[in-house]
A and B are shown apart, each in its own frame.
Chain A
Amino acid sequence: MSSTTPPAPAASPAPAGAHSAAPAGTPLLEVSGLTKHFPVMGGFPIRRRIGAVQAVDGLDFSVAAGESLGLVGESGCGKSTTGRLITRLLEPTGGRITYRGQDITHASRRQLAPVRSEIQMIFQDPYASLNPRQTVGRIVSGPMEINGIGPPGGRERRVRELLETVGLNPEHYNRFPHEFSGGQRQRIGVARALALEPKLIVADEPVSALDVSIQAQVVNLLQEVQRNLGIAFVFIAHDLAVVRHFSQRVAVMYLGRIVEVADRDQLYGNPRHPYTRALLSAVPEVAADDAAPPRERIRLAGDVPSPLNPPSGCRFRTRCWKATERCGSESPPLVRAEGSGEGHLSACHYPEDVAALTESKGSRGTKGVTGSVDLEISKEP
């Protein structure tokens, strides 16, 4: 890490833009109109570009220093692509990515080098993302070597510290990945990501490949890391409960677009986008007690349409029970709907009612939604 920045403060979870070197009020990471289209080849008789998979299509969001932003959505919604775009593992097709005031959208390798050490990534598969022929010591010190960083006391000491931070035995410095269990491997991945004292970690489904009991260990570890080291997170996951647990702010994606973004309580307690609401209602839950009123059940029909040929207008309209002609012709902007709280943005022409959902947690969905073929609402027996 460069000598101009003080060691990361042991900050409270409160987003702390003040610690950033950028002028106050500037978010750590700002993304506007971010787009990634993958070309599709085909045609006859000579193959050529015939279309594009619109994996990510015009995203706007920002991440404050020390904050955790959750990205949730079903497969094909573009959440992983987004993670790869902001770490610049993929080249954006359009839009702008600004990191601490610096435009890195199309930055060259050389320009990116200092930024790369501050933005780290944690991957889903703890088996595939560690080189099996390297010792844990080499894996964790790798980023320091590549960036030519010699911490005081030497790299080995730093690695041992890191291993201890992530809850591994520092004595395991010379072991190989295959000697560890899945959860421990993910801890090695976390240690590697922490090696350069990053300001932002992009975690792409970091716990979904792990067993339930191990998941919780890693979630807790990441939470400690985020709180104690003040590192900002972009937390990509499909599990809504895990995201809610980990992220202060959550963005829901559908077919390459953000349909709703809000702080955690707003999003889970008062979803304004029908998709968010449907998604929440589909999560199977062990209810806390039998006395709790039954949860609302919204069943979306069908699957997510192909991103190769997404629906016009609002992309959710083909599965939405509220869709009208307007939804097909006019793409709803991501705005603060009437009645929404500060920073609560949703992209829907007909946002969900506020009142019905905010009374109390237990009474979610007591008001039915009417008039739809695709929707069936029923109560659990």
Chain B
Amino acid sequence: MFRFLVRRILGAVVILLIISAITFLLFYVAPRDPARLACGKTCTPQTLALVRRNLGIADPLPVQYWHWLQALFTGRDYASFGRCPAPCLGYSFHYHEPVLGLILNRFPTTLSLALGSAVVFVLFGVGAGMLAAVKQGRTVDKVASSASLIGSSLQIYIVGLVAMYYLVDQWHILSRPQDIPLTQDPMGWFKGLLLPWFILALIFTANYTRMTRSQLVEALSEDYVRTARAKGLSRRAVFFRFAWRGAMGPLLTIFGLDLGGLFGGAIITEATFGLHGIGALSVDAVNNNDLPMLLGVTLVAAGAIVVLNIVVDALYAFIDPRVRLA
């Protein structure tokens, strides 16, 4: 187990390095002047020259990348702009601030949104899937299956706005979406995010209902489930101890693969509800020609996904001894 984790973490570091190199390359070999892109909207010739010098545009690309990597560990001075302390992901010439701090300010909102909605869709999706699997072919199964089909064809920005109009503005059932830090006011945090959670969870819930159902139906037909019945265990015990255990692994794998989509969805949801997460930050960065910020956001998002994937893998190993002991 320990070896497994260490190996996965080493692998993750390699993946992050590759992602950073590719992103770096993509931004810096773009046909437009990277310094111009990094300089921001309000860019005077003087600042542009400064930016160019500070970014080391004159150096060959690998050297630039190396400096950028070094900055992660040692920090970097941006002369008259200021110092970017380690770990330095880059310096935003638009905000005159290191990007990492800005991102970390916004990150909790996105993370709250993504993970909170994950809790929602896992609870509802998996629950509905279980019900459908138990009542195979009955009405409950058919309703769950068709509902999930409709759900998966919905779009966040449309449903989100419609839901907000009715649930918040018209009927006052839910409070208006807003991002209050969890540490500041847990209740406010919960209330503010409740609608976005459900809206973002909507598309995923549908998928998880379908997948949970099919995984469970498959697990229920496994030989070891038959054996468990032959041992005299009750249907309930067989379902939870054996079939559910068998379905959990594949579901977890799918969850790991969905994390990327989840963050993507969170960004759309933020935009829909006007929340200030890293989605809004990156939209601003594009509008403001803030290249270092975009690079930083990409990396932080990638890092979050990689880390969560390690957690998922560790959980998988915990569930399935064949993986753990292999």
CB 8 Å contact bits of B1-39 with A (1 = contact, 0 = none): 001001100100000000000000000000000000000
CB 8 Å contact bits of A20-56 with B (1 = contact, 0 = none): 0000000000000000000000001111000000000
CB 8 Å contact bits of B281-322 with A (1 = contact, 0 = none): 000000000000000000000000000000000000000000
A44 to B7 Cα, complex, angstroms: 8
Min Cβ gap B7→A in Å is: 6
A47 to B326 Cα, complex, angstroms: 13
CB neighbours (8 Å) of A45 from chain B are: 3, 6-7, 10
Question: How many A-B contacts at CB < 8 Å in the complex?
Answer: 10
CB neighbours (8 Å) of B7 from chain A are: 44-47
CB neighbours (8 Å) of B10 from chain A are: 45-46
Min Cβ gap A49→B in Å is: 16
Size category, A interface: under 10
A160 to B107 Cα, complex, angstroms: 71
Residue of B nearest to A44 (CB): B3
Count of residues in B whose CB is under 8 Å from the partner chain: 4
Min Cβ gap A81→B in Å is: 23
Min Cβ gap A42→B in Å is: 9
A164 to B10 Cα, complex, angstroms: 62
CB neighbours (8 Å) of A46 from chain B are: 7, 10
A46 to B3 Cα, complex, angstroms: 10
B192-225 at interface with A (beta carbon < 8 Å): none
CB neighbours (8 Å) of B3 from chain A are: 44-45
A47 to B6 Cα, complex, angstroms: 12
Residue of A nearest to B4 (CB): A44
A181 to B7 Cα, complex, angstroms: 49
A46 to B9 Cα, complex, angstroms: 12
CB 8 Å contact bits of B73-114 with A (1 = contact, 0 = none): 000000000000000000000000000000000000000000
CB 8 Å contact bits of A233-269 with B (1 = contact, 0 = none): 0000000000000000000000000000000000000
A44 to B10 Cα, complex, angstroms: 11
A46 to B14 Cα, complex, angstroms: 12
Min Cβ gap B188→A in Å is: 45
CB neighbours (8 Å) of A47 from chain B are: 7
Min Cβ gap B144→A in Å is: 32
A47 to B3 Cα, complex, angstroms: 11
A45 to B3 Cα, complex, angstroms: 7
CB neighbours (8 Å) of A44 from chain B are: 3, 6-7
Min Cβ gap A278→B in Å is: 31
Min Cβ gap A169→B in Å is: 36
A25 to B6 Cα, complex, angstroms: 61
Min Cβ gap B177→A in Å is: 45
A47 to B10 Cα, complex, angstroms: 12
Min Cβ gap B178→A in Å is: 45
Min Cβ gap A48→B in Å is: 12
Residue of A nearest to B6 (CB): A45
CB 8 Å contact bits of A44-83 with B (1 = contact, 0 = none): 1111000000000000000000000000000000000000
A44 to B3 Cα, complex, angstroms: 7
Min Cβ gap B326→A in Å is: 9
Min Cβ gap B201→A in Å is: 38
Residue of A nearest to B3 (CB): A44
A70 to B164 Cα, complex, angstroms: 75
A46 to B11 Cα, complex, angstroms: 9
Residue of A nearest to B2 (CB): A44
Min Cβ gap A111→B in Å is: 39
Closest 6 A/B residue pairs (Cβ): A44-B3, A45-B7, A45-B6, A45-B10, A44-B7, A45-B3
Extra pairs beyond A44-B6, A45-B7, A47-B7 (7, CB < 8 Å) = A44-B3, A44-B7, A45-B3, A45-B6, A45-B10, A46-B7, A46-B10
A residues neighboring B (CB under 8 Å): 44-47
10 contacts between A and B (CB under 8 A): A44-B3, A44-B6, A44-B7, A45-B3, A45-B6, A45-B7, A45-B10, A46-B7, A46-B10, A47-B7
